[in-house]
Amino acid sequence: MAATGRQHHIHLAQEHAARYALLPSDPAHSQMIAAHLKNAELVAQNREFESWRGYLAGEPVLVTSTGVGGPSTALAVEELRAVGVDTFVRLGVSLTLQPFVRTGDLALAVGAIRDEGTTRQYLPVEYPAVAAPDVTDALRSAAAALGATHHVGVVHTKDSYYGEVEPDRMPMAAELRSRLEMWATAGVLCSEMEMAAVLTVARALGANAGGVVMMWGEDVDPARPPSLSTLHRTGVGAVELLIEHAARLASC
């Protein structure tokens, strides 16, 4: 923690405490997600980490961007945990690995392949990166309520974006292509860069986590990308369901 009382990287303090956090990778998406919260305000901004705080069902909720990849994502999860977050929901975008998973579809992760380096600093690679069932169930219910096409399964997390999208110019092109084909044959839904870190680091810190990503296929026009509204509303809706469920349990 910095001398100011704020976390070193994300710059949040105990006054910003919340149990729930939504995690986009792109800082530009933080405000878009926060717009779905009540009384949301920007509370911290440093490097790739932009944090908003608002309310759902009377409960404070944080929206914090993680940046791209495992190292910065792990920093965000670590420091959010330090200010009280015990439930993390990753929201991202990804290229699909399956022909039946199309642009605009949602992929809900029950687990992630740890094909990256960050999580190996927390737990051996044999330990699975698995989502908390309650978080996945809430995401599925929220997606269904919106009528969103969604798929539930395993996602792949890697460290190199260009190793996936432009493997042929890499010295190890044959191995990169072979591994992606292997994951696709195994039914893996998509390949992205943060899910394994969110799931593994949260689990190592005694917290719950899950995530959903929206598919971007090769047919996407960069000038006219699909709307992220369904992705964001699914994540926010899931957190609201989790808050309501926790309130019911507390009243029993």
Tens digit of each residue's pLDDT (9 = 90 or more) over 62-113: 999 999 999 999 999 999 999 999 999 999 999 899 999 989 999 999 999 9
The string of DSSP letters for 92-155 reads EEEEESSTTS-TT-EEEEEEEEEESSGGGGTS-TTS-EE--HHHHHHHHHHHHHHT--EEEEEE
Whose structure tokens read 């911290």?
A: 44
Report CA dihedral (128, 191, 202, 70) to the nearest 10 degrees: 110
Look up residue 163 and give its amino acid: G
| 3 state SS of 25 | coil
Give the pLDDT score at 5: 85
Nearest to 71 by CA among 181, 186, 175, 200: 200
Nearest to 93 by CA among 85, 83, 84, 103: 103
Confidence class for position 219, pLDDT limits 50, 70, 90: low
pLDDT higher than threshold 70 for residue 2: no
Give the pLDDT score at 3: 53
Phi first, then psi: what are they for 242, rounded to 5°?
A: -65, -40
The whole-model pTM stands at: 0.94
Give the pLDDT score at 216: 81
Nearest to 49 by CA among 5, 8, 94, 92: 8
Cβ 170 vs Cβ 186: under 8 Å: no
Does the domain at residues 14-159+190-218+227-241 carry the CATH identifier 3.40.50.1580?
Answer: yes
| 3 state SS of 89 | strand
Give the pLDDT score at 251: 82
